[in-house]
Chains A and B, each alone.
Chain A
């Protein structure tokens, strides 16, 4: 493991202060969760924890099937992550390691799907979901985007930089089947990349609201962002409850991040060439 210990204290200080600044809004989110909307709408806003958490939670759970919404969000995000990791690593591996006809055109097609703003697709997507009978079905949220451009592109870059073609060739010589190579050699080597993609996919699914806005037609099938937004109106928003809901909604992401940071950044050197 390579380190250079010459970095001056100034660098540590800058990074530390930077981290605190980044952290501040997050702190406020949890602080706001414990205040009434009267307190939140003051200036300066409250800086330390208040006493209204229980009251906010009460408002939240009386307006929404909050815990159920949380469960649906969790289910959709987990399923979305699983499918995305599988399909995108397959696609990325294909684009990085193989030469085939229409490769460039197909990759352009992949990237092209990224270029259309999602709200422009609302009406036609709604028509497809209705034709499939997927309205109010969680699968409408995790299947369509499972082989997405972001993931395929990310995986292609990782495969290209961390898996030497000789390794694949050698496995072929040893008589390993193509799918076996993918499953037993490529996937294990992609662990840090899969960790990154998994984390980002989970978060994107967790915060997605245009998808659920299109397909979810019953409040008990809402995911969290849609449910929490439903507390907002131009004139009468329960801001305290909204902040409580937002703060609780962030906790799973926080836990996920702490768990996956071990994978991502705890210094496991997983480079293939030792």
Chain B
């Protein structure tokens, strides 16, 4: 006790002590890999020959990356899938979380659990299941579409031929986006639910006394209170979406699908390094991707800041 009072931490030093673990771990584990990949981006390297086999090539790798059709294609794919899977996630997860929070009492754990389960289902199971679901001739999704075709009025809107989901380039991105949406909806919902817990109930009480209906309460109390969490979850979706890897990787067997329609930039980077054996170009591309993600993250930050501080 005496020791603690003598070396009492002043408020000025406290934040540095609090972030010391991060700084130490960063210096030991993150800094070197960053420098290594920066170094590599300026070299040509055959990794199986060992570390001494690197050859300096200047800005060659960056020039190659910027002129590479497939790199640009992968960026377009990534943006497409990030938007198509990311935007609906939040548009559904926020109302869903509010509904579960306010209207469900009994069975709430079960509903939340059900929506959260995709996040903990093994990727192997997902790969097998969705290949069966998306199967052209026997898949449950096509069976369902065929069934819907028999409905009066809206039936004609559904395809007459079974859809070759994973074989045709135009369907691959929607199919992957659907799986990403399915997988992270519950994850976002849990984040929003946790944030909803922290909104004091008397705010709603006061609003109700003022005669505000559920919609007005949602708009004027819930949404503003959720803002820090929305900022967090959207930022994560931006970063995660632009680094999209696992879902397209398992759904297209690691190759990106027909016409590379499902090849995200992260998959392309991985293949450049480990399949096509070009670590230098892969490093250069990962730095280009880094700057793109950083820019978009900063934009997200600004968008949220424009209407009041994010935190």
Contacts and interface: CB of A to CB of B under 8 A. Distances in A.
Interface of A: 1-7, 11-12, 15-16, 18-20, 22-23, 25-26, 28-29, 32, 40, 43-45, 86-87, 90-91, 93-96, 98, 100, 103, 106, 109-117, 119-121, 123-125, 127-128, 143-147, 150, 152-154, 156-158, 160-162, 172, 177-179, 182, 192-193, 195-196, 199-200, 203, 207, 225, 228, 232, 239, 242-243, 246-247, 249-250, 253-254, 257-258, 261-262, 264-274
A93 B139 CA distance: 49
Given A22-B114, A116-B286, A120-B286, A93 B18 contact: yes
B108 A265 contact: yes
16 contacts: A3-B103, A11-B99, A19-B110, A25-B129, A44-B138, A90-B21, A106-B23, A110-B22, A116-B33, A116-B286, A121-B36, A239-B128, A243-B124, A258-B113, A271-B201, A274-B200
Interface residues of B, number: 108
Q: Which of B15, B25, B289 has the most CB of A within 10 A?
A: B15
Interface in B79-125: 96, 99-105, 108-125
A15 B15 contact: no
Contacts of A121: 33, 36-37
A203 B208 CA distance: 39
A43 B194 contact: no
A119 to B, nearest CB: 6
Q: Is the interface of B mostly helix, strand, loop or mixed?
A: helix
Given A20-B114, A32-B125, A117-B245, A273 B200 contact: yes
Contacts of A161: 195, 198, 225, 228-229, 311
Nearest to A112: B294
A216 B27 CA distance: 22
B237 interface: no
A73 to B, nearest CB: 12
Nearest to B225: A161
B75 interface: no
Interface stretch (B60-68, B157-165, B182-190): B182-190
B42 to A, nearest CB: 15
Given A22-B185, A115-B243, 12 more contacts: A19-B110, A22-B114, A23-B114, A116-B37, A119-B273, A128-B33, A157-B228, A182-B18, A192-B197, A250-B121, A264-B193, A269-B197
